[in-house]
Amino acid sequence: MTSIREDIVFDAINRAFALTDFNTQDTIDKQFEFMQQTILADKSLTKDEKSYAAVKLLNKDFDYYKILENEGIKRICENCHDECLATLYCEHCVRNYLKSKFSNWTSGNNDIDNLIQQCQMETLQPDSIVEWIPYDKLQNIEYLTKGGCSEIYEAYWIDGFYEEWDSKEKQLKRYGGHNVVLKKLENVESANKSWFEEGKSHLSISNKYGQIVKCYGITKDPSDGNYMLVMFELDNNLRGYLHQNHNKLTWKRRIQIIDDIVYGVSRIHKENAIHRDLHSGNILYNGDTYISDLGFCGPADKPLNSIYGNLPYIAPEVIVKMKYSFASDVYSIGMLMWEISSGQPPFVYKHNYDLALKIINGMRPRIIPGTPLKYKELMEQCWDADPTKRPDIYTLYDETSSLYRSYLINESEEQQTNNITSIDNFQLNTNFSISSTNSINSFFRNSSSRVYYFKDLPEPRNATKEEQEAYHSIQFDFDLQDGMITEVKDESIKRSYINVEGQDDLTINPKKIKFDNSDKDDDDISNPNFHPEEQAELKVSDCKMDLNYLLN
């Protein structure tokens, strides 16, 4: 077999999807047949690539969707003789095999045992199985870092995850040993019930949807009794990817990225769950886009009347009232849309009371010149201060999907290249003029999630056009020699606030901020081992197909 050009294959699959008329191909089987024939007729693919895309990947994806929606033509399994939907395996055989192994393991915690068993009985694919992983199956365990509320370790999993069902042997086969990341769950035993129930929900979601980073299972560190999530390593997250590739990205690619993110969040909302901490460090990227850190992402013993998250992405009503909602996730998507358009995180300065006040008073980043009008309109709707004026996730997905499809159908790659927004000489955020790579790297490292407690805040509102223009015109002077940055405006602003973690000063004063100019900065940004939010699954074979019926 010749080498497979996976990027070309996925482009062909996306084109086939874009050409699918869901009014004509109104069943999942008709959609599969149309997409398969479209891929087989695609002249950009080799014979081997057509077989790989049209047979292996497409069959795998449609098996998953058929079981998820309980829709499609069924067949009789040659082993259990039950009716099944999948063609590459039998979902009943897989679940019965897992059930037969229940007595062979225990986590020592009934809640966790029940959670894992429940997930296994809802398994959709052989390579999407949550399991109890004995600690002695993990080797070369090394501490990496602590970020947010979790310690992060790297390890080698001897067995590896379940990969496929062997119908002849009637058993699941494993991938084999590979590196994993371990995320320690502290204070699980003392966690309140709502936190643990939410963790259950999110672990189940990650097992169900390919757009959500999979957790391979749970283990327990015998040295301290703390449980740990076992996840796969990934080379990059969205924050690092944008930082390194912004000048190369076409608008078609940017829109595809946000469309993938919106689709992933729609899967979370479909399960009546809220992410609560969406930001570019929690969006993983390896050619496809995945959402990470669902559930367990905040501290189990978070103080009352506090919020946990990455401040520039937190909705104003959450900052004031500490109440999360579906609409607060949509606000975070609006900030991600700006970051994808600019290549830079929003509000790249100190995350404190003053920034919270700016967000509540309607201050938003300046729109990047060259942003497509529809993209701009959606972004502004998403970050509206009034949550009732934001689109729900399904409406937003319809809009981003339609926008992306129009690029797939009507725009050539040459036209897209001409629409690249260059940041070489453009001041992305008019509050700052950043010309030092090391300085922006320091901003990246300082933008992780944390616990905040703010008081005496006004009600959220939208800023007027004049207020926004005045805000965007505020100038900051920088002395970039020796990595020093000096803020010289807003000297009258001195606000009292409390940071639960105690990592910031209690008053906001103009000050000089020292940055580390070490040579390792570029690696830190793109290395997810330095960001606890940033782990993902091994394969990229889960191609997101925008099947409209999934949103009904």
Query: Are 148 and 215 contained in the same domain?
Result: yes
Query: Model pTM?
Result: 0.76
Q: Which helix (H) or strand (E) holds 101?
A: none
∠ CA 150-308-279, nearest 5°, is 85
10 Å CB burial of residue 492 (0-12, 13-18, 19+) is exposed
Q: How far is CA 322 from the centre of its chain?
A: 22
Same domain as 370, residue 246 = yes
DSSP conformation class of 483: G
Exposure of 136 in the CB half-sphere (CA atoms within 13 A): 0
Total domains in the chain come to 3
State whether 352 and 461 are in the same domain.
Answer: yes
Q: Is residue 84 part of a domain?
A: no
Q: Angle 339-531-423 (CA atoms, 0-180°, nearest 5)? A: 30
Side-chain half-sphere exposure of 255, counting CA atoms within 13 A: 27
In a domain, 545, yes or no: no
Q: Nearest-5° angle of CA 81, CA 84, CA 88?
A: 105
d(CA 129, CA 171): 14
Listed as ranges, residues in the chain with pLDDT below 70 are: 1, 147-149, 186-199, 201-202, 235, 295-306, 349-350, 411-448, 450-453, 475-552
Q: Do 279 and 212 fall into the same domain?
A: no
Q: Does residue 149 sit in the same domain as residue 252?
A: no
Give me the DSSP letters along 309-321.
Answer: E-GGGS-HHHHHH
Handedness of CA 211, 216, 220, 224 (dihedral sign): negative
In a domain, 482, yes or no: no
- CB distance 360 to 343 below 8 Å: no
Q: Are residues 60 and 176 in the same domain?
A: no
What is the C-alpha to C-alpha distance for residues 451 and 52, in angstroms, rounded to an integer? 46
Q: d(Cα 154, Cα 206) in Å, to the nearest integer? A: 20
Query: According to the model, what pLDDT value does residue 71 have?
Result: 96
- How many CB atoms lie under 10 A from the CB of residue 135? 14
User: How do strand 138-147 and strand 512-514 relate by DSSP bridges?
Assistant: unpaired
Do 115 and 217 form a contact (C-beta atoms < 8 A)? Answer: no
pLDDT of the residue at 456? 74
- Residue 366: DSSP 8-state: P
Same domain, yes or no: 215 and 243: no
**381 and 292, same structural domain?**
yes
The closest of 446, 227, 225 to 217, measured between CA atoms, is 227
Residue 287: closest CA among 2, 3, 9: 9
Instruction: Answer yes or no: is 340 within a domain.
Output: yes
Is residue 452 within 8 Å of residue 500, measured between CB atoms? yes
- CB atoms near residue 388 (< 10 Å): 6
Q: What are phi and psi of 80, to 5 degrees?
A: -90, -10
Domain span at residue 415?
238-427+446-468+496-502
**Is 419 a domain residue?**
yes
Beta bridge partners of 83: 76
Looking at residue 207, its pLDDT comes to: 77
Domain boundary among 213, 232, 251: 232
Domain-located, residue 90: no
Pair (227, 242) in one structural domain:
no
Looking at the structure, tell me whether residues 310 and 454 fall in a common domain: yes
Shared-domain flag, residues 325 and 392? yes
Domain end marker among 232, 262, 290: 232
Task: With CA atoms as reference, report the closest residue to 156 among 145, 142, 172, 174.
Answer: 142
Note whether 219 and 254 are same-domain residues: no
Q: What is the pLDDT of residue 125?
A: 94
The residue among 165, 200, 232 that closes a domain is 232
Q: Regarding beta strands 131-132 and 215-220, do their DSSP bridges make them parallel or antiparallel, or are they unpaired?
A: parallel
CATH value at residue 117: 3.30.200.20
